[in-house]
Structure 1
Amino acid sequence: MIEGTDNKINIVLFKYDLRMSWTPITNKFIEELEIAFKNMGHIVTIIDFDKYMLHKNSMNLCYVINSDGISIVFEDREQSTTDFDYGLPKGLIKVDYVINFCFTLAFIPSLLKIFSDNNVIVGTLLLDNPARQACYGILSKNVPKKNIFVGMFAESFLNSYEKYIDNTGILTHLMQAGSKALNNKKNIDVIMTANLIEPDLPEDRINKLIEKKEIKESEITIFKKFAKEVYDKAFSDFNKTMEECMEEVILENEDIQLAMNILDLKQILFEGVYREVDWCRRMKYRQKVVKALLDNDIEVEFWLNSKNKLFNEYPNFKDNGKLPYPEIVEKIAESKILLQDLYPVKNGGS
């Protein structure tokens, strides 16, 4: 955390919709960070990249470098002044630190390079580990290595990331926190805020991945073998992390070890198998836990879209529908137990 208020720091938070399901969550985080930093005496600017992308044909995103650092400014292409009304900040925006959730700035590598070259510290915070975020390739390719770090919640994934995906950048482990609720009255026994979906067969998901990534014919067999071995191990012992399961499979199979030494193959092999098996494992284990609670007459309140109605026959399962993230925070505060991602990870969410 940035400490002290003697010297005000100019912090820029980028927010970008991208029509992603996690947007309400990141927007809430950004609002809370703004309040926290301002309370510490710092200067905070939120830039809504949705508005910039909507008007990018009418305006330029420019930068100014002087003796005290770098500033950015939005300029109307039809005018030499910043006299426009696009819902964006007007005038120079001094930048010392940047906080970038997920992939916002990865789509504008020129801006990232400007920040990197001019000693602006940029923190890219991932809401999930990179293997489970399909756009991560864009981020890893476009992010300069100087002055820019990637932060993720799952400590258990850091070693795997450096070993199989990218060992040239700056990584950091973030302890997972949460949003502040307005009250803490406990009116609910158990609340579930993660999706309950009947998982596809792993074979179907792997086949779709092979087709989508255009895996070579000579590599399909090892891809499927790796997926099956990891699936069998992951589903036989839910006390192990996904990373532990995958490492054991690699160590036990010489042909998979050889495949992981192929530069162009190891990243897609590790990421692809991790993502597909991990998704099935999460869905399966969530259902096991919820069913065990319901079978023991414990009331479970559910607050997301349930695409699987198998629990509706239980009178103690209350499907309340989907709520915006800020409202879910309040419901979580009312509960004695929160169920979300349930199987083991090391020091943080997976």
Structure 2
Amino acid sequence: MSDRQIIKDEAHPRADLRRALQREALENDSFFRILNNTTDSQQLDAKQIDEAFKFVDAEIKPQYSGKETLLYKKGRSNRNFENERRRLWQRAVVCYQIYYRGRLKAESEFDTYLLDHPTVNQEFLKLLESALQTQVVPELKKHEAPGDDLYLLINNLLRGVTDDDSIENIANSRTTPPQTTISIFGMFGLLIQAERYQNQGLLHEAYSCLLDVNNLIGMYDGARYLMDRLPAVAAKIRAKDNAKKSRSQKNIVKSRAIDLFYELRPKTKDRKPQLWESADKAFNNIWDKLVEEAIQESGDQNTIPCISEGTIKSLCQKLHRFDKDGRSLDIMIMSALIDDDGEECRSEH
């Protein structure tokens, strides 16, 4: 049997913290293993890593058989500064095209025409790239640090406003700071700076610009991926949150059942707790106690717990398995208060 877990807490109500830890550990196996500091935690990590590599070898790599990729020794050896700068330039061009293509009014006559005529759509994208080369790039080149300045501005937009303002801005514009024209101009500004540094023989500075470009492009791609799916994701989150609220009372009873699993354990003559003989035996004792407490609380002899017997039985089976594995949800919270003399006073819950 695992020792009771001791967690030092100085800020949260102890009972609430203990229940929160129990529920998290019950639903999050990796958290549970860390909490219990079990030896199989490392084994689980090793297994997951091993399975990931096996999946890549069996399922992913065959898809790229005979193809040139940017990864692994051969691909990486080709990623010299100039090739990498050109590659990132093309990725930034795609961001620019997607941005301006996306500004067309959805399902407008022109938008619909482009969707129905891929060849014309490609010509439109070429027109956008031409505008970039003739209008945007020359303007950026007029500035001493076109990348650094705009990169700083984007970081300020990300970190220099309150959460409320950020939410308001995103709700109004339906876009995020990494998706703005400033962010896209910043990509090209950094690429221009990278080329300047290269010409000056400052390779460390040049590569640092490429790293920042890659960061901006990554933020752009990630933000676009999420924003394109945001309405559906938000609806799904609301549904899940509402479901959680409806389970709140049941969670209280479930937390009580966890406590009872450890409180009602059979004990030896010297009062030392023992493992339950079986999950069914634990369930019978715990369910009877839950019914008794529900009746005491309501004053009605016909009252039953607001949770199914099957749920509590499944919980007992899980906790019994944990016991046999040497894991435990019998969590003890320790609070520490420091008095004016520096003495530490502890209390347990």
- Give the greater-gyration-radius structure (CA): 2
Q: What is the TM-score when the length of structure 1 is the normalising length?
A: 0.23
Q: What is the TM-score when the length of structure 2 is the normalising length?
A: 0.23
Higher share of residues assigned helix: 2
